[in-house]
Amino acid sequence: MSTTTMTMEKEANPWESQSARFDLAAQKLNLDEGIWKVLRYPSREVIVHIPVMLDNGKLEVFTGFRVQHSIARGPSKGGIRYAPDVTLDEVRALASWMTWKCAVVNIPFGGAKGGVICDPHKMSMGELERMTRRYTAELIEFIGPEKDVPAPDVNTNEQIMAWMMDTYSMHMRQTVTAVVTGKPINMGGSRGRREATGRGIMIVCDEAIKKLGLSRDRTRVIVQGFGNVGSNAALLMHEARYKVIGIAEVDGGIYNKNGIDLVALTEYRQRNRTIHGFPGAEPAEPAELLVSDCEILIPAATENQITSRNADRVKCKILAEGANGPTTSAADEILADKRVFVIPDILCNAGGVTTSYFEWVQDRQGYFWKESVVNEQLEHIMITAFEDVVRFAETHGVNNRIAAYMLAIDRVAYTIRQRGIYA
Ligand code: GLU
C-alpha cells in the first residue's frame, strides 16, 4: 500500500477525525490528563450479531453496533444508521460527536450511536422489520428512556423507529414511547421533528449571513444530499428566499444559476423518485458542485466529502455542515487558511437532536406541543448555541470547530468533575 493511500485512509477514518479535533481542543482547554482519558474513548461498545430470516427462506446474520460514548450529562442519545460500509470506528466517532453536539446545544443528554452493516435498499420491508426488531431485542438491557434513546440517522426513518418502539414496549409489557425519538406523530412523535435538522441549519445560516453582512436573497446555496436533512434544508431555505442553485446527489446533480424552484423539485421527486431530469435545472457533476461558486455550501450526505484533495478548491464563504463529519481534520486547516466561515456539524445539524429532546420531554409528560412552539424553542436553542460557539472562538482565538469542541468538552468535563468518579 502506498504512503498516499495510507494517509488518505487515515484521513478518511472518522474516528481519526474526531480524535484529532478532540485532542486539539482538550489541549487548548488545558484539560487535565485524567478527564482527557475518560472522554477520549467511549464508555461502552456493544456488538451484536443479528440472525434474520430472509424472504427466500435463507438465514442471514447481520452485525450491529451500539456505542455509548458518555452518560455524564444524561441518558445517551443518538441515531442508528443502516449501511453496507458501517464500521465500529465510524460508530465510535459518531457517538462521540453526539456527546459534543448535545453539550453544544446544552440539552441534558450524553452521546451514543448505532449502526447495522447491511444494504437496506436491497432488503424488503419484511426483512427490514425483522432485522430492526431483533437488533432492538439484542440491545434491550442497554436502551431505555432513562438509559439510551435511539433515533433515525442515515437510511433509517419513522417506520424503523415505530418498530423499535413496539419491540421495546413488547418486552416491557407496556407502551414506552420515550425509548426512541423521530417516531411518527400518532405514536408519540413530535411535530416539527422531520424538518428539524434542516430548520436548524437554516437558523444558523441566518446568523452566519448576518455576521458576514449578506442578505438571504443574495445568498446562493449549494446542497449536497437530498435525504431528510438536505431536502428539508433546501426547501425551507428556498421558501425563506435564499437562492438554492445546486443540488448534488451521489449519482448526479442539478444546477440553475438563477435558483431552483424547490417546491417544484419536491413534487417532481415525489412523482419520479429522483431529482434527475428535473426540467427546471440542468444536469451537473456532483463533485463539481462541491467546488462551484456559492455563498453557502451545505454538505448533508455522509462523511469525508471535503478533504485535503478538494478543500483548496472550495469556493463558498460559509460551510454549513448538515452531515456528521463531512470535513476531514486535514481539510480544516486548508479551510481556515481560506477564511471559510465553518458552521461545524456538532452545531449546524444539532436541530435534529434538539427536537428529539423536545419529543422525549413531550412523551414523558404525555402532553404535546403545537408546531409553532417546537419551532420557537428550537430557534432559541440554536441561536444561543451559535452565539456561544462564535463568542468562544473569538475569545480563545480558535476556529469555530475547535471552539465548539472546547465549549462541549468543558461542559461535559465540568459535570464529570462535579459528579466525581464512582469507585
Ligand atoms: N441522527 C441525528 C444526529 O446525528 C439525530 C440524533 C437524535 O435525534 O438523537 O444528530
Residues 236 and 172 in one domain: no
pLDDT tens-digit profile of 147-168? 999 999 999 999 999 999 999 9
Cell triple for 337? 487558511
- Say what the pLDDT of residue 299 is: 98
Residues 211 and 156 in one domain: no
Site residues for ligand 1, CB cut-off 6 Å? 77-79, 151, 153, 181-182, 324, 349, 352-353, 356
Does residue 140 lie in a domain region? Answer: yes
Residue ending a domain, choose from 152, 171, 188? 188
Residues 182 and 226 in one domain: no
Ligand 1 atom with minimal separation from the 94 CA: 4
Residues 177 and 203 in one domain: no
The tally of CA atoms less than 13 A away on the side-chain side of residue 210 is 10
Ligand 1 atom with minimal separation from the 79 CA: 1
Question: Does residue 59 carry a pLDDT above 70?
Answer: yes
Does residue 246 lie in a domain region? Answer: yes
- Say what the pLDDT of residue 8 is: 82
- Say what the pLDDT of residue 9 is: 84
* Cα of 182 from ligand 1 centre, angstroms: 9
Instruction: Specify the higher pLDDT residue, 73 or 423.
Output: 73
Once rounded to an integer, what is the mean pLDDT over residues 322-340? Answer: 96
Does residue 288 lie in a domain region? Answer: yes
Residue ending a domain, choose from 348, 379, 406? 348
- Say what the pLDDT of residue 287 is: 97
Once rounded to an integer, what is the mean pLDDT over residues 62-70? Answer: 98
Residues 74 and 156 in one domain: yes
Once rounded to an integer, what is the mean pLDDT over residues 274-279? Answer: 96
Taking the CB of residue 191, how many other CB atoms lie within 10 A of it?
20
Residues 199 and 276 in one domain: yes
Question: Does residue 2 carry a pLDDT above 50?
Answer: no
Taking the CB of residue 211, how many other CB atoms lie within 10 A of it?
12
Residues 69 and 147 in one domain: yes
Residues 167 and 266 in one domain: no
Once rounded to an integer, what is the mean pLDDT over residues 33-62? Answer: 98
* Cα of 151 from ligand 1 centre, angstroms: 6
Max CA separation in the chain (angstroms)? 65
- Say what the pLDDT of residue 6 is: 55
pLDDT tens-digit profile of 346-360? 999 999 999 999 999
Does residue 409 lie in a domain region? Answer: no
Cell triple for 298? 451545505
Does residue 77 lie in a domain region? Answer: yes
Ligand 1 atom with minimal separation from the 81 CA: 1
Residues 65 and 125 in one domain: yes
Residues 205 and 130 in one domain: no
- Say what the pLDDT of residue 3 is: 45
Here the CATH number for the domain that contains residue 88 is 3.40.50.10860
pLDDT tens-digit profile of 73-91? 999 999 999 999 999 999 9
Query: Ligand 1 pocket check: which of 346, 354, 356 to mutate, most ligand atoms within 8 Å of Cβ?
Result: 356
Q: Identify the active-site residue in 113, 183, 243, 317.
A: 113
Ligand 1 atom with minimal separation from the 355 CA: 8
pLDDT tens-digit profile of 285-311? 999 999 999 999 999 999 999 999 999
Does residue 66 lie in a domain region? Answer: yes
Q: Are 197 and 352 in contact (CB under 8 A)?
A: yes
pLDDT tens-digit profile of 216-267? 999 999 999 999 999 999 999 999 999 999 999 999 999 999 999 999 999 9
- 116 pLDDT tier (thresholds 50, 70, 90): very high
- Say what the pLDDT of residue 272 is: 96
Residues 103 and 131 in one domain: yes
- Say what the pLDDT of residue 230 is: 98
Q: Is 315 a known active-site residue? A: no
Residue ending a domain, choose from 348, 375, 402? 348
Here the CATH number for the domain that contains residue 344 is 3.40.50.720
- Say what the pLDDT of residue 391 is: 98
Question: Does residue 1 carry a pLDDT above 80?
Answer: no
Does residue 94 lie in a domain region? Answer: yes
Residues 148 and 221 in one domain: no
Report the number of distinct structural domains present in the chain.
Answer: 2
Range of the domain at 260: 194-348
* Cα of 324 from ligand 1 centre, angstroms: 9
Look at the block and give the residue holding cell 437558523.
203
* Cα of 230 from ligand 1 centre, angstroms: 14
Cell triple for 239? 421558501
